Each structure stands twice: as C-alpha cells, then as structure tokens.
Amino acid sequence: MTRMKEAAAVGQSIWLDFIRRSFLDSGELGEMAAQGLRGVTSNPSIFQKAITASTDYDAAVERLVGEGRSVNDIYEALAIQDIRRACDIMQPVYVSTDGLDGYVSLEVNPKLAYDTEGTVMEARRLSSLVDRPNVMIKVPATPEGIPAIETLTGEGININVTLIFSLQQYEDSAMAYIHGLEKLAAANVDFSRMASVASFFVSRVDGMVDPKLVELGNSELQGKIAIANAKMAYHRFSELFSGPRWDRLAAQGARVQRPLWGSTSTKNPDYPDTLYVDTLIGPHTVNTVPPETLDAFLDHGTAARTVDADVEQSRQHLAQLAEVGIDLDEVTTQLMGDGVDAFADSFDELMSGIAQKVADIAGGDDNQTRERADFFTVPSGAK
C-alpha cells in the first residue's frame, strides 16, 4: 500500500498541485491515480511554467494562431483542454469515491479577485466550458470573493476556496459554503454530489513569521506557527460542521467542506521536507502537494493521524506569538494580498509568454500582438 492510500485510510486525500500537457500525454497522471492520488489542482503560476517554459504547447499554439485566435483565447483553449483531460483521467476516482474525490481545479482570472460580480460570471463561464462533473472552480477568499462563493455554491458549482491564511478567512469561507447549501435546500435541489474544499495555505506563514522571530532572537516558535494556525483551522472546522444547523443539511446528503492544506512544500531547507504533510493528516482533509513534496512523502513520509494532536500546544504557540509582539492577523492579511498579486503577476507573465510565442510564429512584434489581444483585460463576459 502506498503512503497515499495509507493517508486515505486515515481520512486524508492526497492531491497533486501540478498540471502540464506532457504529464497528461505520458499517462503518468493515470498511473498516479492508480497508486492513490485523488485529485489535481492548478493555478496561474503552474500554467505559466507549463505553457511558457516548455515546448509542450507549441504545436497547439501554432494551430490556434492559424485559426486567428487572440492571446486570451489561446490561453483559455490550452487550459480548458488540459483541465478536461485531467478530469477525464480522474473520472474513475470520482466514481469510485462517489464524488468525494477525483476533482481537478481551475482558477478564475486573478485579476477578478476583488470583483464579486466578475468572479461569479467568470466561474460560471469556466464551469460551463470545462463541462465536467469533477471540475472545481477556484475562487480566492478575499472579502469580495466570499459572497461569490456563496452565490456559486447556491447554484450547484463546486468551489475550491483558495488563498486562505487566517482563521477569519477560513470561517467566512465555510459559512459561505453552508449558506450556499441552504439556498439549494430551500429550492429542493439535490446537493448530495456537491463538493467544496477550503484551501488553507501553510508554509508561507512560517516564511513570513520566522524572519520576524529571528530578529527577536526567538528560536522556540520558529517553524511552528504555520502548523499551529492550520490546526486551529481544523479545530474550527470540527465546530462549524457539527450541531443542529449542519445536521439538517447533512440529513439531506450534504458533504462537509474539507480543509485543504496548500503551500505544503518546505521553503526552509533546515526543516524536514515533509513537515507540512506529516503534521496535518486526519479525517475530512486534503493535502495538495507539488511533485517534489509528493516524492518525498512517498519515500519517507509518515501517514498517521496528526491534525488534531497537540491542539492546546498549538493554541499556546499562537498566544506566545502575540506575546512577543507579532500580530498574526497582520501577517495573514499581507500574505493574502501578496498571494493575489503573485497570481496576477504570473497571469501577466503567462499571457506575455503566449504573446511572444504568437509573435514568433507570426513573425511579428509581440507588443502589437498583445495590443490586438487586449492583453491586460479580463476574459470576455467578465467585468
């Protein structure tokens, strides 16, 4: 039994934070699914690296240029095809888990992170274009994203809430999902196959907090705050998805919105490379890992229930952080803003890279190509 299957036996699904055309062509994704992989996530940074830093897509780009497609249209055609293919490859997992797993996530345009109406329109459009029951649309947990999550859930669209760093963001995301399900219940809509995850980012918290602790000469809390933060989110999950209100939805077939641990690669080389996987395993959770972290986990990770262990110690660590003068709310607010900006930058780099490929094929100026393609606009149909 692989460690992915061992983790599943404890209640955690391992998803892969990676997609690329050659990975799909080679059959590797299907092989990994047979070994216990239970989902796939993507984001603008992943597509930027896949499309612009490889030759995997060059033939498809050339064909699309020949069809007169714009840069935006080319990106969308490439991404939608990859997501559809990944959904089809993961379909057996979706079926065998009765819709619990087997999902592939596609993110809305990051330029819409602070636009509720635009996010709703874009998510609807992408869901319709992919047209697979096991697609999840990623929506960021910005203040503007939260009402979009409620609306989309209330329309029966599976949502992966992304860029969650704080407990307040987590609670807002969970309640948006619950409110959305209650709308479906009021309309007598069957939501027994609805699924959602709340992507709580982990290692980036230590990445910002640890340098502050170093400046204060505090070594005791280094490498511990991100895990403590995530464990407290799991504790809140246990509270939110229990009790009379949730029980009424569960009686109608509702599934909990599972916490998904994102940003679980270890950024500090002094820390174990499976630190943010081994310490957060437990029932009703997902961990989406990049390939190198998955390889490490398969080689020497530990698949044991840990996510609800030492909760009081985690609470103490967070209290101690406040005592030394570090405001975690300020940290997580900055991380969310930085995360939105990073994905938007990656999206710009992606579109610029495609524009360059188009210019190379057409033998023209990529600046003119970008202008013809409305380079800095959001897709048609979104505001």
Catalytic site positions: 138
User: What Å distances lie between residue 372 and 62, 149, 281, CA to CA?
Assistant: 17, 33, 48
Look up residue 291 and give its amino acid. Answer: P
- What is the helix (H) or strand (E) element at residue 182, kind and residue range? helix 167-186
For residue 254, count other CB atoms closer than 10 A to its CB. 21
- 39 bridge partner residues: 103
Distances from the Cα of 219 to the Cα of 122, 224, 264, 278, 339, angstroms = 45, 10, 21, 22, 26
Helix (H, G, I), strand (E, B) or coil at 175: helix
Rounded distance, CA 282 to CA 310, Å? 13
**Which tokens is 155 given?**
């329309």
Return the residue matching tokens 């992915």. Answer: 4
For residues 118 and 383, the answer to whether their CB atoms sit within 8 Å is yes
CA distance 52 to 29: 21
| 6/36 Cα distance (integer angstroms) | 9
CA 66 – CA 356 distance, rounded (Å): 15
Residue 123 in tokens = 């998510």
